[in-house]
Amino acid sequence: MQDLDIKILRINEIFFSLQGESSRVGLPTVFIRLTGCPLRCGYCDTAYAFTAGENMSIATILNKTSEYKSHYVTVTGGEPLAQKACLSLLSALCDAGYSVSIETSGALDISKVDPRVIKVMDIKTPGSGEMEKTLWANLDQLNGQDELKFVLCDEKDYHWAVEIIQVRRLNQTCSILFSPVYGELDPALLAKWILRDHLPVRMQIQMHKILWGEGPGR
């Protein structure tokens, strides 16, 4: 336990809510949001996590997480892997018996993430403004339990994502998520495109925004 007291992370917030995205949508989940992100996506809805936060030891984080009595934990950001101690936090959560997932931008190396952790990784589209930050070598680190997410701003993003999936045969790697940018791309239109093209993807709408609006959801 001594090592968990020494390793410190900058935490923006820890809260209990329903998972709004991924194949775990709807599950009561503890969210651990780490401070900081090297990307500046145009549609980012967590810019408040770029700087604000409180320093916490991993032991303290585990104690706070246990208060919610949830089996599911999601480590998110910002970009959680921007803090080196995130890797130790992920392993500690797994050791504590939680079912753990991480939401990551795909811009930082995921090769050292504990294999017990479900990786939900973005592939940044042209509309994000950060497409060139994608670390394509990360694709080799994914397996059947992981998920790839495309956040789509418009039809141009959609066609770009379809080409990437086909060229790289991503549907043979793991589940693929298509998510429309809230307030920019009509979800019904995206659904129409997916059905028309018979895509092997899961469409998702951010449930937490439907329930609680554009602000930080609970």
Lowest mean pLDDT across 82-86, 177-181, 187-191, 205-209: 205-209
Measured between alpha carbons, how far is 134 from 29 in angstroms, rounded to an integer? Answer: 28
State the residue range of the domain holding 44.
Answer: 2-212
Is the pLDDT at 24 greater than 80, yes or no? yes
Number of domains in the chain: 1
Q: 3-class DSSP state for residue 4?
A: helix
Give the model confidence (pLDDT) of 112-154 as tens digits.
999 999 999 999 999 999 999 999 999 999 999 999 999 999 9
The total of other beta-carbon atoms located within 10 Å of residue 144's CB is: 9
Measured between alpha carbons, how far is 56 from 61 in angstroms, rounded to an integer? Answer: 7
Quick check: is 174 in a domain?
A: yes
> Locate tokens 């959609």: which residue?
158
- The answer to whether the predicted template modeling score (pTM) of the entire model surpasses 0.85 is yes
Quick check: is 33 in a domain?
A: yes
Quick check: is 218 in a domain?
A: no
Contact 122, 151 (CB under 8 A): yes
Is the pLDDT at 175 greater than 70, yes or no? yes
Quick check: is 67 in a domain?
A: yes
Quick check: is 92 in a domain?
A: yes
Quick check: is 21 in a domain?
A: yes
**CA 78 centroid distance within chain:** 9
Contact 168, 141 (CB under 8 A): no
* Pairing of the two strands 202-203 and 175-180: parallel
Determine phi and psi for 157, rounding to 5 degrees.
Answer: -60, -40
